[in-house]
Structure 1
Amino acid sequence: MKKTILSTALLALLASPVLAQDVVRMGTEGAYPPYNFIDDNGQVAGFERDLGDELCKRAALTCEWVTNDWDSIIPNLVSGNYDTIMAGMSITDERKEVIDFTQDYYPPTESIYIAPEDGVDLKTGVIAAQTGTIQAGYVAETGATLLEFATGDETIAAVKNGEADAVFADKDFLLPYTEDGSLKVVGDPVALGGGIGMGLRKSDTALKDKFDAAITAMKEDGSLNTLLVKYFGKDVTQY
């Protein structure tokens, strides 16, 4: 959606004074391409790095990026080790019991299974998924044997070495692993979650409002769609 004029309220919010904190620490995993990863220079890169930097600019905030293992990314936000989570995190009711979210900056998407060959029994087989993800929760309810790993790369390795029959994860993360033909999409895609948003502590309402306003502005001027296409291709669902 594109609009050339933002509402007066939105402009006022974006122009409001910087929050009391000097630096906003942006927490990410750095291991979930193309959302976030570590580049050859050892820096956080990817869709969420580009988006987060632009959101901070529009919100007049000074932001720094820090990385944290996925399995403790919410507890470390709550304990104050950083101020936001931008890590391909789907908005769910369960997570909203512990933290708050901005509006989504990536629309609800599909999760898929990939495996070395067709014929995998996805209901009774051994399925690898990353610990603490909505995909792991889904597999646990299907009747299949869930094999959890700390990182997405470990789930891929488990399938390639025969430890698991298939991997279940976000489509955009898994599809690149099918490009060499060693793994293929099996079964039907599954729609999970309510889109991807930025996680924040429930007490940080002013910070949430600033980022929400910046996300709205990027949706309205089309710049968020530009980033989506850059990282996920022209077929990505846009705003």
Structure 2
Amino acid sequence: MKKLLIGTAALAMVAGAAFAESHSVVRLGTEGAYPPYNFINDAGEVDGFERVLGDELCARAEMTCEWVTNDWDSIIPNLVSGNYDAIIAAMSITPEREEVVAFTQNYTPPSPSAFVAMGDVDLSGSVIAAQTGTIQAAHVTGMDGATLLEYPTPDETVAAMRAGEADAVLSDKDYLLPVVEGSSGEIMFIGDDVPLGGGIGMAFRKSDPEMRAKFDAAIQSMKDDGTLNEMIAEYLGEDSPAF
């Protein structure tokens, strides 16, 4: 999910207590509402690409994972205040976020965002739905003539378009692909793909450099042995950008 932190409150929050190097448990915060990256399955458990990835990274870092879900709009403030120890939630690496948190290297390359609609739409003069606090929402605000409608979850953006509240949706293409494929032709991609963000990484408090370094090394090891590319292909699709 290529998301941009909005709201200045998080920028003012002081870092929580550092996660001691001796700890063997790391609490991973995710949204649980952004398939195929993360979602809640029928058993009520976190599932998806980032669940499998996070468990593997914890194993390589010799940590035990505990998963915590949190609404997107407060996911960074709750990391900073100590409610969990890392974010793994389709969060794009952006300069704005780097003012507040410390990222690992990316575990997915930059991948495109895309527009979908239920017919021909002139994007320059349309109402476009995007999830609150995302880099897609920020992109829409910079489009000439476009009006942004923000919703708490990506599913609500699609529902708003279906209901006629919005003319189009801008979101991660990885998220939109199954939406388009499952619509029986009702929803289609329009316009060109939009390259946004610098890839997705894990976010840590700036006071936890040792913990961040362990996960950074684990990500690198998965890049080196090819398992990360295999996981990307399995969960995000063969056409999803890989390393």
TM-score scaled by length of structure 2: 0.89
What is the rounded CA distance, in whole Å, between the counterparts of 2:240 and 2:136 in structure 1? Answer: 20
Instruction: Tell me, in whole angstroms, the C-alpha distance in 2 between the residues paired with 1:134 and 1:21.
Output: 34
Q: What are the equivalent positions in structure 2 for 1:151-230 lying under 5 Å apart?
A: 151-179=153-181, 180=183, 181-230=185-234
Which one of 51, 74, 87 corresponds to residue 53 of structure 2? 51
Aligned to 1:142, what secondary structure does the other structure show? coil
Rounded to whole Å, the distance in 1 between the matches of 2:154 and 2:188 is: 16
Structure 2 gaps of 5+ residues are 1-19
Matches within 5 A, 1:11-160: 19-118=21-120, 120-143=121-144, 144-160=146-162
Separation (CA, whole Å) in 2 of partners of 1:156 and 1:150: 12
SS at match of 2:73: helix
Cα separation, 2, equivalents of 1:140 and 1:43: 35
Query: What SS does structure 2 have at the residue aligned with 1:196?
Result: coil
* Deviation string, structure 1 residues 50-72 (Cα, Å, up to 9, x no partner): 00000000000111001000011
Q: Could you tell me how far 1:113 is from its partner in structure 2?
A: 0.3
Structure 2 SS opposite 1:195:
coil
Structure 1: runs of 5 or more not aligned: 1-17
Report how far residue 22 of structure 1 moved: 4.0
8 A contact 2:111–2:240 mirrored in 1: no
Counterpart residue type for residue 175 of structure 2: F
* Aligned residue type for 2:76: I
Contact kept? 2:127, 2:168, Cα under 8 Å: yes
Please report how far the alpha carbon of residue 75 of structure 1 lies from its aligned counterpart in structure 2 after TM superposition: 0.7
In the TM superposition, structure 1's runs of 4+ consecutive aligned residues that sit over 6 Å from their partners are none
Which segment drifts farther, 130-139 or 228-237?
Answer: 228-237
Deviations, residues 189-211 of structure 1 (Å, cap 9, x unaligned)? 11000000001111110001000
What is the alpha-carbon distance in structure 2 between the residues aligned to residue 109 and residue 224 of structure 1? 15
Query: What is the one-letter code of the residue matched to 1:138?
Result: H
Deviation at 1:217, TM superposition (A): 0.3
Q: For each residue in 1:75-125, what CA deviation from the matched residue of structure 2 results, as whole angstroms up to 9, or x when unmatched?
A: 11111111111110000001111111000000000000000012x121221
C-alpha distance in 1 between matches for 2:126 and 2:240: 30
How many pairs does the alignment contain? 221
Which amino acid in 2 is paired with 1:142? Answer: M
1:232 matches 2:236: yes
Q: Aligned partners of 1:235, 1:153: CA distance in 2, in Å? A: 23
TM superposition shift of 1:20? 2.2
